[in-house]
Amino acid sequence: MMKATQGPVHRIFGLLLIILAFGMPALASAEDCDPEDHTWTETFYYPAGSVVYHSDSWFESREVHQGKEPGISFDWKRLHTTPDCSSNNEQRVQPFDAADADQGVTRSGDAAEVCERPEQWRFAGTYAEGEMASHGGQVWEAIEETTGDMPGVKQPPQWQLVEDHCSIQQSQQPGL
């Protein structure tokens, strides 16, 4: 009579079943976002990481902004799957209404300051000395009048990188 023994294959298979059994509740707890709860609204401010549903697609905000339509500007990244909106998802960031803003400072949950990035740099734009533009995920300031010169590329430089544009922006606003 042959005696059945459990070899390494049986142990691995058993371990795999245990891992799957404990992993299933985590998969079941993921909750897809509801398009009706996340419809893009032009008047809302959207911090980086906010997700919206617009024109039959999901988008994630790359940076804080207001009124920039998803699918048209670089400020939004198109998502290829429905995002997870379960309560334990740390990526979920809530937008807030512009009516709540008070001279650049607004509240989202706990008190939080909002600093809008300047408009995206445009090749056809003309920028006066001191004007700022966003390009490549950074903020640039024109150091002299420039037309068509891409920030960070042309020699001699027409632009300088602005390290903390929020503090500059707030110091120029009265009452902050």
Q: Let me know if 123 is exposed, middle or buried by CB neighbors in 10 A (0-12, 13-18, 19+).
A: exposed
Instruction: State yes or no: pLDDT of 151 exceeds 70.
Output: yes
Which pLDDT does position 9 carry in this prediction?
A: 73
Distance CA 24, CA 22 (A): 6
Does the pLDDT value for residue 58 go beyond 90? Answer: yes
Residues 6+ apart with CB under 8 A from 131: 118, 141, 142
Worst-scoring range by mean pLDDT, 19-23, 77-81, 122-126, 130-134? 19-23
10 Å Cβ neighbour count for 114?
18
Tell me: the pLDDT tens digits for 109-122?
444 455 677 888 88
pTM: 0.44
**Is pLDDT at 123 greater than 90 in this prediction?**
no
Task: Give the Cα separation of 36 and 127 in Å (integer).
Answer: 40
Domain boundaries, the chain: 35-113, 126-171
Q: Between 115 and 53, where is the model more confident? A: 53
140-150, pLDDT tens digit by residue? 899 999 888 88
The answer to whether 59 and 51 are in contact (CB under 8 A) is yes
